[in-house]
Chains A and B, each alone.
Chain A
């Protein structure tokens, strides 16, 4: 059972999120704004934080920054569909994922599970098997349906990076920094070419990827559940 901190100034949303997560077997601690959230956060340990973006006093973005300063706990943000720039800013500040209002309960629960699994994998072994794919990080080999698939070294680096945070969105900048060690001289086009390679080799239908999902104008997500 995971402990989840749910932060929203709307009582309705708090109740909906709480009911959904409790039904999925989690313990939920509610907070009515960023200030209270930080107090709760200081009192106990949490496996995940779900927070609204627009709140009075300490807003979602500040809360994410503050939590990130203290802990690597995954953070899921509830936003209103709007600016991609805002999402990129959120993710670059340390949020792990977002869902847009009005979100479906099933989607919310799935995202929460994915982020929690990442927390598990951070303690234990990484995810190396999903669908018909098998990754051996030591040998740097990948099999699809038992057949050995040849990935280029860069493709493998990107794959390994994405696997480290299943369910989380990586912004373009974050991926570049992680894989190349710099964002200078690497363009989104470069990334797209390598992602295209990974999809062509691992996805069943590269034009409608299930696992290596594009978050338009934001980045990419490894999503082993969908």
Chain B
């Protein structure tokens, strides 16, 4: 709504008072009191339409007109009856008061109207922001939404890019804004407002989120209040943050779904690989019960080796697929040793196995299956690379806030120069004598232990043999 310039009110007030006077003169029988009231009405009219300046002018003019045209002696500014002096003063004061009050109430009304409009604009804006759920569409329409809400000519939203520098992320058509002021708003939180070459105000505001600044908002040719602009900037900050959380949640959901898929596929793969092997083993064993163990032994040994290869390959595939994230829980070092012996002890049936457990148990925050698996690899290695009948010792104790698991065998050991190399994939020492290993066991053990925050290494045993050592941090508390 365009409004007439303010000075129009003064001639208009003169016209209104003159017209009222002329009209009153047509009715010579009116009492002075009636005249006074009707003149006051004219003052009220002027004040409420053209506000206080013209209102005051109308009040003074009406006082003079009242005196000149209606109080005896007529057509002079002198007053015959001293009581009319009081009346005239009362009239002047009333006129001034009426003018002031009506102007005031009008201004209040305008203010309320502006606030209501701001609220409506903010509500629309927040509904719009809530409807947009990804950054591209959010930013794309945010600039236009803000331009409408703020009654601005141009809007530019600045957000730091991937390189960390502030850059316009969304603008309205043909909008240009000063990036130095936007930078200042973003970096230091300073806002700037000044008269615009486009009319109205140019304003530069930081987009805040709590104590963080996530960007800057520039609105040029702003015709709404600065307060509305600030509130809109805050709303934009919230919308951007909400969008960020939504994106994180969506990514997490997608990762989880793809992990579930991988787990299911891997389970199916394991089933498909192991079922024929199970059939072969069972058939050979059934046959052996008639033909004799001796005849079946080579086949059974080959099947056992094939089984180990499949198991190891499945473990590596699972590790590579990233579905093997540790599920940590509070367990004790003793449990890990017991579990590893229970599950992998079979491989050591022809060895003398000694288990040394500490009197004091050591709490650990680890994935128990994974750590058992890792220690089990140590036991299987000992079984493969040391002669049947020799001694294998598994122990755990505490040193420097760590649980130290050890598997010691009396085999040939590993030369010092090779002790790190054998943790690689498919590494098997050529003179290790045993061909059954897949060359993946130590690789798997190291990956599993490291995923659980520990370390694993090979050492020489005294007087001979290999020491497989796993160090895992003791749980706090």
Contact = CB atoms under 8 A, between A and B. Distances in A.
A207 interface: yes
Given A103-B281, A192-B335, A214-B342, 17 more contacts: A12-B283, A20-B282, A23-B286, A23-B289, A54-B271, A78-B278, A80-B275, A81-B274, A101-B278, A102-B274, A106-B285, A216-B335, A216-B339, A216-B340, A216-B368, A216-B369, A217-B368
Of all A-B residue pairs in the complex, the 8 with the closest CB atoms, nearest first, are A16-B282, A216-B339, A12-B279, A102-B278, A105-B285, A101-B278, A207-B355, A101-B274
Interface of B: 267-268, 270-271, 274-283, 285-286, 289, 303, 307, 311, 332, 335, 338-343, 345, 353, 355, 357, 368-369, 372
Contacts of B372: 216-217
Interface string A36-50: 000000000000000
Which of the four size classes fits the interface of chain A?
A: 20 to 34
Nearest to A187: B330
A80 B357 CA distance: 31
A20 B222 CA distance: 89
A16 B284 CA distance: 9
A80 B283 contact: no
Interface string A102-138: 1111101000000000000000000000000000000
A208 interface: yes
A17 interface: yes
A62 interface: no
Nearest to B327: A85
A123 B238 CA distance: 70
Contact of A215 (B271, B277, B335, B342): B342
A13 interface: yes
Contacts of B342: 213-216
Contacts of B281: 102-105
Given A16-B279, A16-B283, A101-B275, A208 B267 contact: no
Interface in A16-40: 16-17, 19-20, 23
Given A10-B279, A102-B277, A214-B339, A20 B355 contact: no
B338 A216 contact: yes
B445 to A, nearest CB: 17
Contacts of B282: 12-13, 16-17, 19-20, 102-103, 105, 108
Q: Is the interface of B mostly helix, strand, loop or mixed?
A: helix
A203 B71 CA distance: 129
A2 B274 CA distance: 28
A80 B271 contact: yes
Contact of A102 (B289, B303, B339): B303
A146 interface: no
A204 interface: no
A153 interface: no
Nearest to A53: B271
B277 A208 contact: no
B261 to A, nearest CB: 16
Given A10-B279, A101-B277, A102-B307, A208 B289 contact: no
Contact of A217 (B270, B271, B332, B369): B369
Interface in A57-93: 78, 80-82, 84
A207 B286 CA distance: 34
A162 B281 CA distance: 32
Contacts of B332: 189
B357 A81 contact: no
A214 B338 contact: yes
A108 B283 CA distance: 13
23 contacts: A12-B276, A13-B278, A16-B282, A20-B286, A80-B274, A80-B275, A81-B274, A82-B267, A84-B369, A103-B278, A103-B282, A105-B281, A105-B285, A108-B282, A207-B355, A208-B353, A208-B355, A214-B338, A214-B339, A214-B342, A216-B368, A217-B369, A217-B372
